[in-house]
Structure 1
Amino acid sequence: MQAGTLYLVPTPIGNLEDMTYRAVRTLQEVDLICAEDTRQTVKLLNHFEITTKMISLHEHNERTRSEQLLADLYDGKNLALVSDAGTPLVSDPGEWFVQKCIEEGITVIPLPGANAAVTTWIASGFEGGRFYFHGFLPRKKKEIEEVQQSLEAITVPMIFYESPHRMKQTLERLQVVWGDRQIVIGREVTKRYESFYRGTITELIDLDHEWRGELCFIVEGGTGNGQEEAWWQTYSVQEHIQYYEEQGDDHKKALKQCAKDRGLSRNEIYKAFHELQQ
């Protein structure tokens, strides 16, 4: 018996009119739909009158459920993989299952469709051509800084996803490590209240905007020579420490971060700070 096929099917990121004819037909014809969240996908299926059976496949059950799904494929059944919105595997689960299918010789067919990163990119105003897609930044401050430092050599625009409750804090952390680069934030792309915010990182921080909805942002790439002017370059040591204190750090922590930014020891910063105080 010939093995079945796994189809990777994009779904709309907000506007149901972005669902393709091919995607609808594929979801109608496969034997089973593997959905990141069946509660979300059922709304899409009901809208297009698709009655295909669904099963959940997400980051918490992907490895345990893949064995049965592979057995279904070996039995000749065709499967479709969908995420809650957009193109599967782009900052969404399914990578491990797809890799197993490829290793086992199962045919994997990707369908083109909606994607928040590319849609935001083409409206960004940045020079067309190359870009770097990263997705979501880690949650912890130290891990974010490590990622940013690893990306400093990238000279092309970089695309990220972010949740609204973290967007303001993320902008502040971007400014600390990368300085005042150009940035574009796409909000609720393809939806009714779609909007784009463009400017420098500082300008968008100064908006003091209450971010809501789905966000995708694009940051200008670096120069690649590691010699960009740091955001604190024009600050005195005292102003530099005061900046961190205004962000909520206590004096000791602000002094430590100032030393780290400038590549100096805490004792050197401490001495410079108190000399300015005299």
Structure 2
Amino acid sequence: METALYLLPVTLGDTSIEKVLPSYNAEIIRGIRHFIVEDIRSARRFLKKVDHDIDIDSLTFYPLNKHTSPEDISSYLKPLIDGASMGVISEAGCPAVADPGADVVAIAQRKKLKVVPLVGPSSIILSVMASGFNGQSFAFHGYLPIEPRERSKKLKALEQRAYTENQTQLFIETPYRNHKMIEDILQNCRPQTKLCIAANITCDDEYIQTRAVKDWKGNLPDLSKIPCIFLLYK
């Protein structure tokens, strides 16, 4: 196994490892003793899911979130600099994509350390694939503003980009605010604009539907507390 910073995708929900991750990922994970993780508890659960016999207590975890300083992040890479492979684990999906893992990858690149991304599920890519929208040009915007006026302004701006740039627009919301997000979309976007709602991707109760805004009215699924990604297109 080559010494590198390995970017280790995680299941998007309560999905079996075999369904979404290559067996090669497990081989790599077994050879790593140092992990940079968004959440230590969820990372430990994921590693046990990959290999029930893994000795969790022998591993070292370095927390990486929005509160971690650049100095701390840089110091995390010392084992890699000393010749030991390291892994980066997000809470869900692919690390460094809409994820604080990007910060440690940027430092590793500046230090000319080898970075290896492994194959795994990305809600951004999977939702674009299933939406029927433009997969040649798309943009992910993360969370939209919470303040009503700013959110309305942002939704209208994203919708306009879909029309003028022929570009798919993607964004997310905190699960407990999914229904408010949908209400805001239906209120602010044109009736003919297409909206795709993708929820619990790769899970048994996966839900991915594309409809015009006018056709969603009165036909909304129950998305409370479910991870969702929203896509707008002309």
TM class, shorter-length: 0.7 to 0.9
Judge which range, 56-65 or 186-195, deviates more.
56-65
> 2:66, 2:167 → 1: CA distance?
31
Higher relative contact order (CA 8 A, sep 6+): 2
Are the aligned partners of 2:94 and 2:120 in contact in 1 as well (CA < 8 Å)?
yes
Q: For 1:192-211, list aligned pairs within 5 A.
A: 192-211=204-223
Q: How far does residue 4 in structure 1 lie from its aligned partner after superposition?
A: 5.0
> 1:65, 1:82 → 2: CA distance?
17
Task: Name structure 2 gaps, 5 residues minimum.
Answer: none
Relative distance call for 1:139 and 1:63 in structure 2 (3 A) is farther
* Root mean square deviation, CA, Å: 2.4
Task: Give the aligned partner of residue 142 of structure 2.
Answer: 135
- What TM-score results when the alignment is normalised by the length of structure 2? 0.82
Aligned: 1:217 with 2:213: no
> 1:205, 1:42 → 2: CA distance?
42
| Aligned residue among 95, 98, 101 for 1:94 | 101
> 1:32, 1:72 → 2: CA distance?
8
Give the partner amino acid of 2:183. Answer: E
- What TM-score results when the alignment is normalised by the length of structure 1? 0.70
Are the aligned partners of 2:98 and 2:142 in contact in 1 as well (CA < 8 Å)?
yes
Are the aligned partners of 2:131 and 2:209 in contact in 1 as well (CA < 8 Å)?
no
Give the partner amino acid of 1:185. Answer: I
Q: 2:93 aligns to what SS in structure 1? A: coil
- Structure number, greater radius of gyration: 1
Q: 1:210 aligns to what SS in structure 2? A: coil
**Paired residue total:** 219
Relative distance call for 1:22 and 1:88 in structure 2 (3 A) is same
Task: Name structure 1 gaps, 5 residues minimum.
Answer: 222-278
Q: 1:123 aligns to what SS in structure 2? A: helix
> 1:57, 1:125 → 2: CA distance?
35
Q: How far does residue 203 in structure 1 lie from its aligned partner after superposition?
A: 3.0
Give the partner amino acid of 2:184. Answer: R
Aligned: 1:51 with 2:62: no
Task: Give the aligned partner of residue 24 of structure 1.
Answer: 26
Are the aligned partners of 2:89 and 2:95 in contact in 1 as well (CA < 8 Å)?
yes
Structure 1 runs of 4+ aligned residues shifted over 4 Å read: none
Aligned: 1:13 with 2:12: yes
Q: 1:72 aligns to what SS in structure 2? A: helix
